[in-house]
Amino acid sequence: MGRARTSCASGGFTLIEVLIAMAITAFVSVLSYQTLSIALVGIEAARAESERLHEINRALTVLSRDIRQIANRPVQDEFGQLASAVMGGELARDPLRLTRSGWHNTTGAPRSTLQRVAYRLDENRLLRLSYPVLDRTTAIEPTETVLIRDVEALELRFLPSISALDVDRNQSIDRRQWQENWIADVGFTNELIDPPAAIEVRITLEDWGELERLYVMPAFK
């Protein structure tokens, strides 16, 4: 009697079945990795967008606080010249310089609650410079804070009189009486000018486009 032939299907897998199983496992693994990768990219993009939005909102909050707390207090700059409470525009040293109130003194230090701040654009960064004293010398250095990155432009306009703030029915502002600069006549040393009636700020970002804010000043004494 001859020995019975053992069937290849009696208990194991054929080579083809093993290869198919391996191929399916590899496909599922690749698909799972791609799905996870896409999800992680989406999460990272959402996180970056949230951080960017927070950066913009924080910067606009700081800017709005400074402008709304403008105090009509001229200062002495580092060259010993008097400088108006508000100065700015393309012809000024910085797009915006101002004296603000409300500088909290939680430590009780012997200083004023007024503060001199400036805004400038440097290497596509919107910077806020704050000075420890109002009337300073060349030895006084400001504290520099980066408010927003990837800034393409910073533009300001100034309105001399509130009566010129003409808004039509479509809420479009008549800008014919707005001025590009708010500085004293350079031909007169130590000449001071009062703060404007309103300030318009336009910030152009690489990713968000134009951000525009209009601030109406209180009646200064």
Q: Say which residue the tokens 């606080």 belong to.
A: 65
pLDDT of residue 44: 78
Question: Within the chain, which residues score under 70 in pLDDT?
Answer: 1-13, 162-176, 185-190, 221
pLDDT of residue 21: 74
| Residue 98 located in a structural domain | yes
| Residue 145 located in a structural domain | yes
Secondary-structure breakdown of the chain: helix, strand, coil percentages, each rounded to the nearest 5:
25, 30, 45
Cβ proximity of 198 and 165 under 8 Å: yes
| Residue 16 located in a structural domain | no
| Residue 1 located in a structural domain | no
- DSSP H or E stretch at residue 97: strand 96-100
| Residue 79 located in a structural domain | yes
pLDDT > 70 in the chain, percent: 84
| Residue 40 located in a structural domain | no
Say which CATH number the domain at 185 has: 3.10.610.10
Query: Domain tally for the chain?
Result: 1
pLDDT of residue 1: 46
pLDDT of residue 64: 96
Torsion of CA 92, 112, 142, 51, to 10 degrees: -90
pLDDT of residue 34: 78
| Residue 28 located in a structural domain | no
| Residue 138 located in a structural domain | yes
Residue 64 lies in domain: 59-216
